[in-house]
Every structure is written in structure tokens, then in C-alpha cells.
């Protein structure tokens, strides 16, 4: 029994049978086939198929088909141009991520952690700037009781409202006179004092108003 010393060649057999290998490869494959029964059997299995495939007649199409190919292609291209959408499909690659980013950004803005706290300073300052203590009392009362104060004809309700207005005014006045705020309230310069309030001082007034459930 001969010993096979070279690599098996099944995957080169079709090319070998077709004659499409170079001289060196042909020699190598032939030498291998002389000593390898397994590869010889493989070759015998496919040999008839290769010759049958070789004998397959050429398929043809009418020459007019290829002659008309290019004009039909240009018709198709023209139709495609006419159907072209107003937007460029490639723009999707840019617009979709950008729009998604914008939407996510605004959604995040509404998430509680990013949500902007309502600024009480903004609502308190207009109440106290440009107002005298009596004005403040009136405004605070209006804020608390709104239309009720204006429309009530019941003396008891009216008195309650007025007391609350007074309390509100007193809280603001006390806060402004608080020593910790390093302010000395001068009745004659009340306007200037209110205008010079910083945010901490306004905070202080807010706390006091809340303690008295006026805010």
C-alpha cells in the first residue's frame, strides 16, 4: 500500500478537471492522485458532473434585449428622479439623532431633579417693593383671600380678613426690623429699605410669613 505524503486535494479537483490550474499545481495534484485513493474516488465522483456542466449549451437572450437595456435604465432613473421625495433620505441620519437629543433634553428638564423651583423671591418682591406697610397688609390679604375680601358683606368675615392683613403687614415690618438682618427701619425711608433687601432678607420674610401661615 502506497503512503500518501502530500496534502489532500479535493477542493482543487474541479479546477484540475477543467484544466484551469497552472503547470506546477497540475503536477502536484497528479502526483497526489497517484498515491491517494480517497482523492481519486472524489475525482471520479465529480468527473462526470464536470463534463456534463461543460457540455451545457450556452444560454442566450435576444440581442434586442441588451440593446434596449440602457434606454430602459434611463427611463427608470428619470422616473426615480420625478418621484424623489422633498426631503433627502440621508438627512434622516442627522435629523433623527438631533431631534431625539432635543426631545430627551426637554423631557429631562421636566424631571423633578432638574425642575426649576418656583422662585418665591420673584413673587414676594413685587408685593413689598413700592408698598407701604398698609399697602403690604392689603396686598397680603388680597393674596390670601382674593375676591372674598372684596365681595363680602359679612362684617365678621371682613373683620377676620382685615386682622389677617394686619398680621401680614406686621410680620413684614417685624422682619424688616429684625436685628439679625442688620437693618434699622426708618419709617421715613421705608421705600429705600425695601428696595435694598437682598435675597437672604427676602428669604427671612418668607419664612416668617410661612410660620404665620400667611403664605
Q: Which of 182, 215, 174, 214 has its CA nearest to residue 198? A: 182
Question: 12 or 203, CB closer to other proteins?
Answer: 12
Smallest distance, Å, CB 82 to other proteins? 14
* Residue 107 binds other proteins, judged by CB under 8 A: no
Is 45 near other proteins (CB under 8 A)?
Answer: yes
Residue 186 to residue 193: CA distance in whole angstroms: 8
CB atoms within 10 A of CB 134: 11
Please say which residue, 66 or 106, places its beta carbon nearer to other proteins: 66
**Angstrom distance (rounded) from CA 80 to CA 135:** 75
Site for other proteins in 56-95 (CB under 8 A): 56-61, 65-66, 69-70, 72-73, 76-77, 80
The CA distances from residue 43 to 3, 4, 38, 138, in Å, are 19, 16, 9, 110
Contact predicate 164/214, CB 8 Å: yes
Q: Of the ranges 48-56, 141-149, 169-177, 179-187, which one interacts with other proteins (CB under 8 A)?
A: 48-56
Query: Cα–Cα distance between 166 and 137 in angstroms, integer?
Result: 5
- Considering only the stretches 52-60, 95-103, 117-125, 156-164, report the one whose residues sit in contact with other proteins under the rule CB under 8 A: 52-60
Residue number with CB closer to other proteins (59 or 187): 59
Residues found near other proteins in the complex (CB under 8 A) = 10-15, 45-46, 48-50, 52-53, 56-61, 65-66, 69-70, 72-73, 76-77, 80
Amino acid at each position: 500500500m502506497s503512503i500518501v505524503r502530500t496534502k489532500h486535494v479535493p477542493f482543487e479537483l474541479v479546477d484540475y478537471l477543467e484544466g484551469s490550474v497552472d503547470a506546477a499545481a497540475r503536477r502536484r495534484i497528479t502526483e497526489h492522485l497517484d498515491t491517494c485513493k480517497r482523492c481519486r474516488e472524489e475525482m471520479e465522483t465529480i468527473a462526470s458532473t464536470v463534463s456534463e456542466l461543460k457540455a451545457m449549451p450556452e444560454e442566450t437572450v435576444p440581442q434586442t434585449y441588451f440593446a434596449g437595456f440602457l434606454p430602459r435604465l434611463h427611463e427608470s432613473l428619470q422616473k426615480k428622479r420625478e418621484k424623489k421625495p422633498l426631503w433627502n433620505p440621508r438627512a434622516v441620519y442627522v435629523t433623527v439623532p438631533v431631534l431625539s437629543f432635543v426631545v430627551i433634553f426637554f423631557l429631562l428638564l421636566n424631571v423633578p431633579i432638574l425642575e426649576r423651583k418656583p422662585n418665591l423671591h420673584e413673587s414676594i418682591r413685587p408685593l413689598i417693593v413700592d408698598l407701604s406697610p398698609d399697602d403690604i397688609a392689603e396686598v397680603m390679604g388680597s393674596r390670601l383671600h382674593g375676591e372674598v375680601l372684596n365681595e363680602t358683606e359679612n362684617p365678621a368675615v371682613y373683620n377676620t380678613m382685615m386682622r389677617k392683613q394686619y398680621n401680614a403687614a406686621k410680620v413684614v415690618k417685624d422682619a424688616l426690623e429684625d436685628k439679625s438682618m442688620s437693618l434699622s427701619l426708618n419709617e421715613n425711608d421705608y421705600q429705600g429699605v425695601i428696595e435694598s433687601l437682598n435675597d437672604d432678607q427676602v428669604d427671612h420674610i418668607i419664612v416668617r410669613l410661612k410660620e404665620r401661615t400667611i403664605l
